[in-house]
Amino acid sequence: MPAQASRRCISCLLALGGLCYFYSQSRWPCSGSLARQVQVSLQYETLLLSFNSSTHPIVESGPSVVFMTVTMMLVFGSAFFTDVIGVHAIFGSFFFDTPQSFAYHPNRSIRGWNHCPSGRRTSYQYHGKARGYGLDHLPATGELYFTFIH
Amino acid sequence: MHSEPAITRTAQDSPTKSHRRGVGWDLTWCVKTLAMLDITNTAFLGPTAFGRIPGFTKHIFPEESRSYLSLVANIGLILFLFLVGLEIDSGVIKRNARLSATIALAGMILPFGIGAGVAHALYEKFIDPSIKFTYFMLFAGVAYSITAFPVLCRILTELKLLDTTVGIVVLSAGVGNDISKCILAHIFRLLMNLSTSWMDSTRFERGPR
């Protein structure tokens, strides 16, 4: 009985933490004051700005290795927590809220587009946001490339 | 089965990919998206067609490698869904929230009713009467009302509908649908566990230590 009870306690704690984390990273606004506090305190944007602005501005050069590492860790952490609370892991990564001004760089470096300096950049620059080009150069679902090169 | 894991992984990769490419060139005139082709081709890799080759399943897809295969597939899915989430403008979702909620509700209720009807017919013919009908009906209804969210994403990205309002409305409806499906499936599992533990109380008391 103690083993079962402790297991239940641990899973409840994990689920609570996962829910907090999920809501803090979600792109849906949350109205509860506690959740709002968590959301403000876990601001991804300020975290990444503190990583980037001191060394080199992210807008001009590509993403730094630290930037991509932190992003990937947060994405997989979010996916882990949604998996733990019982929803499938993909929703954690889908709802992971990246600021629109930063979204371009993980997009490029996960797909390995940092190898071609001029290609695939134009519509982003014209529209000024991280959407507007399709996923047409994506080979297949499982064939995403990791290149942390900038 | 004693072999190198990397070799097994490569051996799993090559029939999947070459099969997909080879058939994909021939069938693009009638099947418009590669996602649909992938579904049919992976069905061929199972016991329907390729599994009938003697030793194929035992050597290419052995039992102990399947969890790792699904792990690799999940990593790919997580990255892909992250990229799709990056491309979506959250303002469009907020503007069309009511519309997509309506679509999600309609897309759940109608297939759930059809699934419940089919479940009634199936229960009379095939199912063991020790299983309660309500549980089986819930199971069949959930199974019918599933939206495969990653497949939906792949189809939308291949048809380049992700930038349009239609694509985003369908996608957010699919998200709501899929999350409620997950919750329903968990309720279903919970119900089944509770019923078994109520029926034989000894099993509940013994438990895993």
pLDDT digits (tens, 9 = 90+) for B38-57: 777 777 777 888 888 888 88
Residue B131: pLDDT band with limits 50, 70, 90: confident
Whole-angstrom distance, CA of residue B192 vs CA of residue B146: 20
Most confident residue range from A84-88, A133-137, B46-50, B164-168: B164-168
Whether residue A115 is contained in a domain is answered as yes
A79 in contact with chain B, both atoms CB, cutoff 8 A: yes
Domain that holds residue A55: 2-127
Whether residue A93 is contained in a domain is answered as yes
Q: Which residues of A touch B87 (CB under 8 A)?
A: 103, 107, 130-131, 135
The SS3 call for residue B207 is coil
Residue A138: pLDDT band with limits 50, 70, 90: very low
Whether residue A137 is contained in a domain is answered as no
User: Hey, of A30, A94, A120, A127, which one would you mutate to test binding to chain B, going by the most B CBs within 10 A of its CB?
Assistant: A94
Q: pLDDT at position A132, please?
A: 36
Average pLDDT rounded to a whole number, residues B179-185:
79
Average pLDDT rounded to a whole number, residues B148-153:
85
pLDDT digits (tens, 9 = 90+) for A9-51: 555 565 666 566 655 555 454 444 454 445 554 555 555 555 5
Average pLDDT rounded to a whole number, residues B179-202:
62
Please judge whether B160 and A134 are an interchain contact, meaning their C-beta atoms are less than 8 angstroms apart: yes
A89, closest residue in chain B (CA to CA): B78
What are A95-99's contacts with CB under 8 Å, separation 24+?
A: A95/A22, A95/A25, A95/A26, A95/A27, A95/A28, A95/B85, A96/A25, A96/B82, A96/B85, A97/A25, A97/A26, A97/A27, A97/A44, A97/B90, A98/A44, A98/A71, A98/B85, A98/B86, A99/A44, A99/A45
Which pair of structure tokens corresponds to residue A128? 């000024």
Q: Residue A123: pLDDT above 50?
A: no
Whether residue A35 is contained in a domain is answered as yes
Residue A147: pLDDT band with limits 50, 70, 90: very low
Per cent of chain B over pLDDT 90 is 2
CA A116 to chain centre: 24
Q: pLDDT at position B48, please?
A: 81
Query: Is-above-0.80 flag for pTM?
Result: no
Amino acid at B169: V
Of the two residues B129 and B110, the one the predictor is more confident about is B110
Q: Taking Cα atoms as reference points, which of B121, B118, B181 lies closest to residue B145? A: B181
Contact B157, A137 (CB under 8 A): no
Q: Residue A57: pLDDT above 70?
A: no
Whether residue A142 is contained in a domain is answered as no
Indicate the number of domains in chain A: 1
Whether residue A145 is contained in a domain is answered as no
User: Hey, of A141, A143, A144, A145, which one would you mutate to test binding to chain B, going by the most B CBs within 10 A of its CB?
Assistant: A141
